[in-house]
Amino acid sequence: MAVSMSPKQKVYQGVLKEIRQFIDNNQLESGDKLPSERELSEKLQAGRSSIREALRALELLGLIETRHGEGTYLSTYRSLQTVELLSSFILQKSVTKGDLFSTKKMLEKEAAKQVFYDLDENDLDRLRSIIDNSELLPYDKHVMFFEYLFDKTKNLLLKKVWQLMERFSFTINKSYYKPSFYEELLQNYMTNQYGLIENLFNGVVLPYED
């Protein structure tokens, strides 16, 4: 095993790193083919079994896809089977309502702050129309309002994490902030008061629930 590695790192972890680098260097994209196991084994000077351990891990993560007799490819679509299998590993131990709420709030606060300098007139109008729309339920307003903000952050991961928590907390209750909250936040945006955002969120102790 010649995969350069820091002390006590396992070979398969080094292989993981090498593979990532290979993908980078060769600009591989979804659907592209990786070198064969034997080729990687020789090139990285590691046993084929170690190569396989790394590939298996990547496979379970859904990052690659292997086709018997063909080769290994960068994954293109998501495999449901994997997810199901993983889910079955789960034992109860659910997150507390408190953890969920405070973490979600934190994400919302952060999004609200991050977009502060990127909002223009148009954005503010949009946000206003959401909170003024009497057709919408408070909870729906909440979701739409923040969805808009998260989109503005341009951080897909951040939005994804928030959505997951939103979806999960949805199964518990539909929570949102008191109506004046959104109004004040918008006010802070319009009057350019960055510093007050933090305080606004910190003032929220308990959410409203449906």
Partner DNA sequence: GTTCACAAGGTGGTCAGACCACTTAATCAT
Partner DNA sequence: ATGATTAAGTGGTCTGACCACCTTGTGAAC
Binding site for DNA (CB under 7 A): 1, 8, 10-12, 34, 36-39, 41, 45-50, 52-53, 55, 66-72
Instruction: Return the number of other C-beta atoms located less than 10 Å from residue 65's C-beta.
Output: 19
Q: Which does 125 bind (CB under 5 to 8 A by kind): DNA, a copy of itself, none?
A: none
Q: Which does 193 bind (CB under 5 to 8 A by kind): DNA, a copy of itself, none?
A: none
Can residue 206 be called a binding residue for a copy of itself (CB under 8 A)?
no
Task: Give the separation between CA 59 and CA 57, rounded to whole angstroms.
Answer: 5
Can residue 92 be called a binding residue for a copy of itself (CB under 8 A)?
yes
CA angle 75, 6, 2 (to 5 degrees): 70
Of residues 67 and 93, the one with the C-beta less far from DNA: 67
The residues, ordered by sequence, that sit 6+ positions from 74 with a Cβ below 8 Å of its Cβ are 23, 28, 29, 30, 31, 32, 34, 63, 64, 65
Number of residues that bind a copy of itself (CB under 8 A): 59
Tell the smallest beta-carbon distance from residue 172 to a copy of itself (Å): 6
Can residue 16 be called a binding residue for a copy of itself (CB under 8 A)?
yes
Q: Which does 41 bind (CB under 5 to 8 A by kind): DNA, a copy of itself, none?
A: DNA
Tell the smallest beta-carbon distance from residue 63 to DNA (Å): 14
Q: How many contiguous H segments (helices) and E segments (strands) does the chain have?
A: 10, 4
The residues, ordered by sequence, that sit 6+ positions from 54 with a Cβ below 8 Å of its Cβ are 12, 13, 15, 16, 19
Q: Which does 62 bind (CB under 5 to 8 A by kind): DNA, a copy of itself, none?
A: a copy of itself
